Amino acid sequence: MIKISKFLLIATLLFAVACSTEDDGDNGGDSNGGDNFDRGEMLANWADNIIVPSFVAFQEETQKLEDIAKAFAENPGTTELNVLRAQYKVAYQEFQTVEMFQIGKAEELNYRSFLNTYPTKTENIESKIASGSYNLELPSNFAEQGFPALDYLLYSYGSTEETLEVFAANPEYINYIVAVTERINALTTEVTASWEGDYRDTFVNNTSSSSTGSVDRFTNDYVMYFEKILRSGKIGYPAGAFTGSPSPTNVEALYAGDISKNLYLQALDSFEDFYYGVKVNGGENGLSYYQYLKYMQDATSSESITASIADQFSAIRAQSSELDSNLKSQVETDNSKMLAAFDELQKEVVLLKVDMMQALSISVDYVDSDGD
């Protein structure tokens, strides 16, 4: 009787260990998410053909931005300022291709918050420049650096001549610009190096279907980005979609003005390309959400979610053609078009957050605090 009890105890422990091993999500576990779709190949496509090349391309632009800012500091003339302004626009546009990838080192560093918290706190920037004392590594300084701070420093003081006069009166303005560009480039270099180093394998090899698996975690970040950053940040808050009171000063690139719609469209393009598995450097599309959903539809003969998502991407794009290139102007002149853009984006949120995630058996792990 004692021997039988020991056997049962050992068997129970072995069963418990086996279950724990399947659920821990860090060693592969159930690599197919309960189906036979190759999550490992999808993760490899995301990392090797989309995320890493996107960060490499963006890092090249942030390095140029820092170099050009330092050249401007050496010779603060009209031509040099115009070159710096142009590179700011190029780099900000390129940033829209990586902003959605807030995972791994980017999540650890609060990368997105350091590079793109807006509206920027202009009074704090002026105070820091006046004092000549600041620490851009502090999270409390999210809204005093990144692209929104450059937007303010490069475009808020008037014409090129007027801007140069401000800088000439206090060279600390240019020192602050250089510090901001150094910070953007340093953070981007660190995130890029992480993906080119060990994190790529950590991400790709974690094929578990548990909540800690790469697919589940990234999908939550991906959908959250669309809902909170793209829909709410770029369109909803300026349009007053949550308060009923339009707030044109909440648009992205407030001071440069006419690039705000382009930033929105680049973010939308990059998000949609990722959904279809479009490779940054060309070639046939790899595995991503579209292929995964198509696989699940074919296996279950279920309703076509892919067609609904594709139709809604088209509807968003058709509506965006009605928007002014300057979204601040759009809010001030005809906010109904901004609210219409928000409504079309919201329809896609439902398809992604409810239909897609349910079809892929992925639980939502973030809280919706917008009250919508």
**Tens of pLDDT along 151-175?**
999 999 999 999 999 999 999 999 9
Specify the pLDDT at position 366: 87
Specify the pLDDT at position 1: 35
> Residue 133: pLDDT above 90?
yes
Distance CA 194, CA 137 (A): 19
Distance CA 6, CA 9 (A): 5
Give the pLDDT confidence of 81-121 residue by residue, as tens digits. Answer: 999 999 999 999 999 999 999 999 999 999 999 999 999 99
Distance CA 77, CA 73 (A): 9
Distance CA 371, CA 284 (A): 40
> Residue 283: pLDDT above 50?
yes
Distance CA 239, CA 193 (A): 38
Question: Model confidence at 28, in pLDDT bands (50, 70, 90)?
Answer: very low
273, two tokens? 């390309």
Distance CA 251, CA 297 (A): 39
Structural contact between residues 141 and 134, judged by C-beta atoms closer than 8 angstroms: yes
Distance CA 182, CA 146 (A): 10
114, two tokens? 């350091």
Going by C-alpha positions, the residue among 181, 177, 74 that lies closest to residue 166 is 177
Q: What is the mean pLDDT of residues 245-255?
A: 98
Specify the pLDDT at position 278: 98
208 CB-near residues (< 8 Å, 6+ apart): 24, 25, 26, 27, 28, 29, 30, 31, 214, 216
Distance CA 77, CA 153 (A): 15
181, two tokens? 């560009």
Going by C-alpha positions, the residue among 103, 279, 111, 292 that lies closest to residue 203 is 103
